[in-house]
Amino acid sequence: MLETVDLKKTLSKSAYSKRMSELQEKLRGLQYAVHEAEVPVVICLEGWDTAGKGRVIKKLTEKLDPRLFRVYPGRQPSPLERRYHFLWRYQMKLPNDGEIAVFDHSWYGRVLVERCDKIVPKKVWREAYEQINEFERWLADDGQVLIKIWMHISKKEQKQRFQDTLKDPLLKWKITKEYKRHHKQYNKWVKAVEEMLAKTDSPHAPWTVVEANDLRWARVRIFETIAERIEGVVERRKAVPAAVSRTAAAAAATKSQRAERAARDHERAKEEEKKTMAAGDAPAAP
């Protein structure tokens, strides 16, 4: 799959500035539409080291209402989190209805870094594919929208970004020994990424692979993907407000149905009461 990605795609500075401004305003409006429609949105941003995930998140949150979104950076699990299933710590951070959660690295660390760095046994990361699919199926069934993005860059581009970052005294701390080791193991990681994309892509939680050699192109592509997915789910939620029963929209949409059902139940209870009373008044058999 990754070998077919066209990493030569670029976007001019002027076209980027115009389109990005439009998309930022659009996503700000969609954020309030999500809140009104009571739709929880989960964004999983994955990709190579130095692919530009942090810059995407910075741009994404510039004009969003900070009351309605949370960003969770990737980190090692705490001692408490290690006591539970690896998905537990992400479940604890899922958004409320009408809010957005952005994961800079997510549960896919189990089948990527933990696999490639041999942190967990092969049996464990192999079992994780099915567990992840079940988790994401549950999220979809619960009415949550899952947007999964893989930012793809070439090995050559990654090396160049490492060199550029190391020249900056304020940023060179980012290029760790782990980053350098992953770069040397690029081909090993490609195999893991390919398998992850193949085994966890589904209609309810599809992957979007973004060409990220050009950061301007990547940001616009990611923003467009997020906007498209959110627009689709908001339209569906408005068309079928009763789809998620816990929401206020569902309660309003089913108010008349619930009233009719209550009236029928009341009439049925009265009939049963009459029958019971009639049976009690009947003369006893000789």
Q: Which of 220, 160, 173, 179 is nearest to 12 (CA)?
A: 220
Give every CB contact of residue 184 below 8 A, 6+ residues apart in sequence. none
pLDDT at position 34 is: 95
pLDDT at position 241 is: 82
**Token code pair at residue 247:** 């929401």
Q: Which of 249, 227, 251, 229 is nearest to 239 (CA)?
A: 249
Spatial separation of the C-alpha atoms in residues 111 and 128, rounded to whole Å: 7
Distance of CA 63 to the CA centre of its chain: 20
Say if CB 23 and CB 228 are below 8 A apart. no
- Give the pLDDT of the chain (286 residues) as one tens digit per residue: 788 899 999 999 999 999 999 999 999 999 999 999 999 999 999 999 999 999 999 999 999 999 999 999 988 999 999 999 999 999 999 999 999 999 999 999 999 999 999 999 999 999 999 999 999 999 999 999 999 999 999 999 999 999 999 999 999 999 999 999 999 999 999 999 999 999 999 999 999 999 999 999 999 999 999 999 999 999 998 888 887 878 887 788 777 776 677 778 778 888 888 887 777 665 655 5
Query: What sign does the CA torsion over 95, 76, 56, 5 have?
Result: negative
pLDDT at position 88 is: 97
Spatial separation of the C-alpha atoms in residues 269 and 234, rounded to whole Å: 40
pLDDT at position 282 is: 57
pLDDT at position 283 is: 60
Spatial separation of the C-alpha atoms in residues 195 and 191, rounded to whole Å: 6
Distances, alpha carbon 171 to alpha carbons 57, 152, 164, 167, 176, in Å: 17, 21, 9, 8, 11
pLDDT at position 16 is: 97
